[in-house]
Chain A
């Protein structure tokens, strides 16, 4: 590729959100996204991302920047960053995971899916339905059947159950 530079100046890319806002980012960091990587290989420098809104794109760029500078020494630091990164509302997490999926950033997808799992693991069934906006489509008999199947898992530990929907 003619444009690959061997000079000190790092190659920059421009990412454009669905709201047409543009963000500059180093190519070496941006290619953590498989989607962006493919586009770069096809000689794109301006990368339109119509599926990602500005707010989400900013967060993703922040993530990629942090993970782009990963070394042996700052592993703990990055872990802390990740922990803080997922402290967001469910809606924000949803936007992020959809964007990460679209952008093919494997580590971020894993992080977000794990965050979802951690957030709902102690929640009651009702709370989960509320969060995801899922109506109960079981008949009372069906529900009783599923419940009965794994009654032993439900019996104890009621004190752990979290009924909040956030």
Chain B
């Protein structure tokens, strides 16, 4: 026995001096040799050193996770893949226990490797017989370049492939590169649909490139209606709105509450968060997003603002060209004296400033946007003329100058070239100069006459200002005969301030609350209406870069079958690039 012990001792020393790989080689060759003489071989193995080796394992503090015990508890260690898959682990595994138990201890991946090592030849044959495209291994930087170019839906799919792919596609850097490389395509987000009388928490996303609708649930929006939406970067901002108090979830204004809260939805992360609430509760506010230079530092107060204003008498019909090469020519009107006082001494209007952005990445990376909310209806459904501006960087709303006094109720607005143009129900046009911080009235040549119930929609496409307005179409050859309503696209010439008819929309204007939104060169329109007991939807797009804008239908009746007619009233749309 002593003999044996010393033998073992010397063996132990022997073992310790061996490197793991050598041990591996030894054990593998042992294994292969003893394959058919398992029981005998193992016995020898054991006597030679399994128990000793196990002791050594304990000694090393690794712990022998691979006992001869083939119990189910070994299965648990499969979960801890990496800890067992160390080189040390490999070595021990092969030595202790029999083949079956050893592989059970490790992750599936390890087992594969183990098998491959021992069965290399058979596997190679297998691979050769399989499709020759296996194992197209791309280095990470090239893989990233390929993934950047995937459309959003495919990218979402790619995240399921493996952890590396998921991690590669989830970083902010990756999304910035997608943006900068222009690998994104537009997505339309349709909000506010009503189903079975309830403001469903559904939102519908239309993938323009695949021409497909997708449905999402957003519990947070449940019960909220008549909110306004807009897209900024990769998020959709949901601003204001109402909820019924009597019948929660229904579009019921008998007893309701108006919100000032702002919810932000990120389709990328599929998350909702809350932004700072507005100063005033609003339903259906007019929203505009204005891009400003990312390190803009502007300090404003009423005094300086007052100094900058020009007083020009209004000369009937003729537009003055404003002599400033950096600005658009807009006619400025002298204000009612009351206005002036209001402006300069309005106690509630605080001076606002844009904080200089200090961020880790260069200011070129992110374009900065401000969100402007104007008008809408207040807590008692009263039309509002207040306005406020939101800076996502500081997460703060600041009140800005109210709409001009006799402007009327704002019904549509859009930002174009740094000016937030707003149109009123009484056909007035005003613009808020975002940087300078005040409203100017804009006198244009006569506004297109329109059907009164249809509020025109302002659109800005490539620094051009358009308006979609429904008017009566004179019957052919019958002057003065108004028999058909038609939706026309007008463009405002920003130099001469005249409206020019550009195109006629192919669809009859059945939806008086049609949503139109611009994206680069295209104008997307969604119309929903009930006819013959059915709710239909039409999605059209017009390309502005053509001389005569052609409209095409891109989706018909894919969406509205289950929706209520009330959706026409409550729907709103935002566009994002994903």
Residues on A lying within 8 angstroms of B by beta carbon are 89-91, 93-94, 97-98, 101, 109-110, 113-114, 116-118, 120-125, 128-139, 142-143, 146-147, 149-150, 152-157, 160, 165-166
The stretch from B137-145, B231-239, B433-441 touching chain A is B137-145
Q: Do B150 and A120 have beta carbons less than 8 Å apart?
A: yes
**In whole angstroms, how far apart are the Cα atoms of A143 and B151 in the complex?**
21
Q: Do A150 and B159 have beta carbons less than 8 Å apart?
A: yes
Q: Do A135 and B270 have beta carbons less than 8 Å apart?
A: no
Looking at the assembled complex, report how far the CB atom of B259 sits from the nearest CB atom of chain A, in whole angstroms.
25
The contact of B153 among A110, A118, A157, by CB within 8 Å, is A157
Q: Do A133 and B137 have beta carbons less than 8 Å apart?
A: yes
Q: Say if the beta carbon of B297 comes within 8 Å of chain A.
A: no
Q: Do A153 and B215 have beta carbons less than 8 Å apart?
A: no
With A94-B137, A133-B137, A154-B157 in contact, do A116 and B109 touch (Cβ < 8 Å)? no
Q: Do B133 and A155 have beta carbons less than 8 Å apart?
A: no
**In whole angstroms, how far apart are the Cα atoms of A150 and B160 in the complex?**
10
Q: Say if the beta carbon of B54 comes within 8 Å of chain A.
A: no
**In whole angstroms, how far apart are the Cα atoms of A109 and B165 in the complex?**
20
**In whole angstroms, how far apart are the Cα atoms of A165 and B132 in the complex?**
10
The contact of A166 among B133, B146, B150, B161, by CB within 8 Å, is B133
Q: Do A114 and B166 have beta carbons less than 8 Å apart?
A: no
The contact of A131 among B134, B159, B210, B217, by CB within 8 Å, is B134
**In whole angstroms, how far apart are the Cα atoms of A160 and B158 in the complex?**
15
Q: Do B156 and A154 have beta carbons less than 8 Å apart?
A: yes
The contact of B133 among A125, A131, A137, by CB within 8 Å, is A131
Q: Do B137 and A157 have beta carbons less than 8 Å apart?
A: no
Q: Do A113 and B156 have beta carbons less than 8 Å apart?
A: no
Q: Do A152 and B134 have beta carbons less than 8 Å apart?
A: no
Q: Do B142 and A150 have beta carbons less than 8 Å apart?
A: no
Q: Do A125 and B132 have beta carbons less than 8 Å apart?
A: no
Looking at the assembled complex, report how far the CB atom of A2 sits from the nearest CB atom of chain B, in whole angstroms.
38
Residue of B nearest to A122 (CB): B154
Residue of A nearest to B218 (CB): A152
Q: Say if the beta carbon of B213 comes within 8 Å of chain A.
A: yes
Looking at the assembled complex, report how far the CB atom of B206 sits from the nearest CB atom of chain A, in whole angstroms.
11
Chain B residues with CB under 8 Å of A113's CB are 142, 145-146, 148-149
With A90-B136, A156-B213 in contact, do A129 and B162 touch (Cβ < 8 Å)? yes
Q: Do B146 and A117 have beta carbons less than 8 Å apart?
A: yes
With A114-B149, A155-B214 in contact, do A133 and B134 touch (Cβ < 8 Å)? yes
The contact of A137 among B131, B157, B162, B270, by CB within 8 Å, is B162
Looking at the assembled complex, report how far the CB atom of A88 sits from the nearest CB atom of chain B, in whole angstroms.
11
With A128-B158, A132-B137, A143-B160 in contact, do A156 and B146 touch (Cβ < 8 Å)? no
Which 8 interchain pairs have the tightest Cβ spacing? A133-B135, A117-B149, A121-B154, A152-B216, A116-B146, A150-B156, A153-B156, A113-B145
Give the interface centre of B149, B150, B161, B164 by most chain A CB atoms within 10 Å: B161
Residue of B nearest to A166 (CB): B133
Looking at the assembled complex, report how far the CB atom of A107 sits from the nearest CB atom of chain B, in whole angstroms.
13
Residue of B nearest to A109 (CB): B145
Residues on B lying within 8 angstroms of A by beta carbon are 79, 108-109, 112, 131-139, 141-142, 145-154, 156-166, 205, 210, 212-217, 269-270
Residue of A nearest to B217 (CB): A152
28 contacts between A and B (CB under 8 A): A89-B132, A90-B133, A90-B136, A91-B133, A94-B137, A94-B138, A101-B141, A110-B145, A113-B148, A117-B154, A121-B151, A125-B158, A125-B160, A132-B135, A132-B138, A133-B134, A133-B137, A135-B108, A146-B159, A146-B166, A149-B270, A152-B205, A152-B215, A153-B157, A155-B214, A156-B212, A156-B213, A156-B214
The contact of A125 among B79, B135, B161, by CB within 8 Å, is B161
**In whole angstroms, how far apart are the Cα atoms of A141 and B158 in the complex?**
17
Chain B residues with CB under 8 Å of A130's CB are 131, 133-134
Chain A residues with CB under 8 Å of B166's CB are 146
**In whole angstroms, how far apart are the Cα atoms of A94 and B215 in the complex?**
36
10 further contact pairs, Cβ within 8 A, besides A98-B142, A125-B161, A160-B210: A116-B138, A121-B151, A121-B154, A128-B161, A130-B134, A135-B112, A137-B163, A155-B215, A157-B153, A165-B131
Residue of A nearest to B205 (CB): A152
Looking at the assembled complex, report how far the CB atom of A120 sits from the nearest CB atom of chain B, in whole angstroms.
7
**In whole angstroms, how far apart are the Cα atoms of A146 and B270 in the complex?**
11
**In whole angstroms, how far apart are the Cα atoms of A157 and B158 in the complex?**
16
Residue of A nearest to B212 (CB): A157
Looking at the assembled complex, report how far the CB atom of B405 sits from the nearest CB atom of chain A, in whole angstroms.
46
**In whole angstroms, how far apart are the Cα atoms of A34 and B6 in the complex?**
67
Looking at the assembled complex, report how far the CB atom of A14 sits from the nearest CB atom of chain B, in whole angstroms.
27
Chain A residues with CB under 8 Å of B165's CB are 134
Q: Do A135 and B153 have beta carbons less than 8 Å apart?
A: no
Chain A residues with CB under 8 Å of B159's CB are 146, 150
**In whole angstroms, how far apart are the Cα atoms of A93 and B143 in the complex?**
12
Looking at the assembled complex, report how far the CB atom of B394 sits from the nearest CB atom of chain A, in whole angstroms.
29
Q: Do B162 and A135 have beta carbons less than 8 Å apart?
A: yes
Q: Do A120 and B213 have beta carbons less than 8 Å apart?
A: no
**In whole angstroms, how far apart are the Cα atoms of A89 and B139 in the complex?**
18
**In whole angstroms, how far apart are the Cα atoms of A149 and B134 in the complex?**
29
Give the interface centre of B109, B157, B162, B215 by most chain A CB atoms within 10 Å: B157
Q: Do B162 and A120 have beta carbons less than 8 Å apart?
A: no
Residue of B nearest to A135 (CB): B109
Give the interface centre of A118, A128, A150 by most chain B CB atoms within 10 Å: A150
**In whole angstroms, how far apart are the Cα atoms of A132 and B151 in the complex?**
19
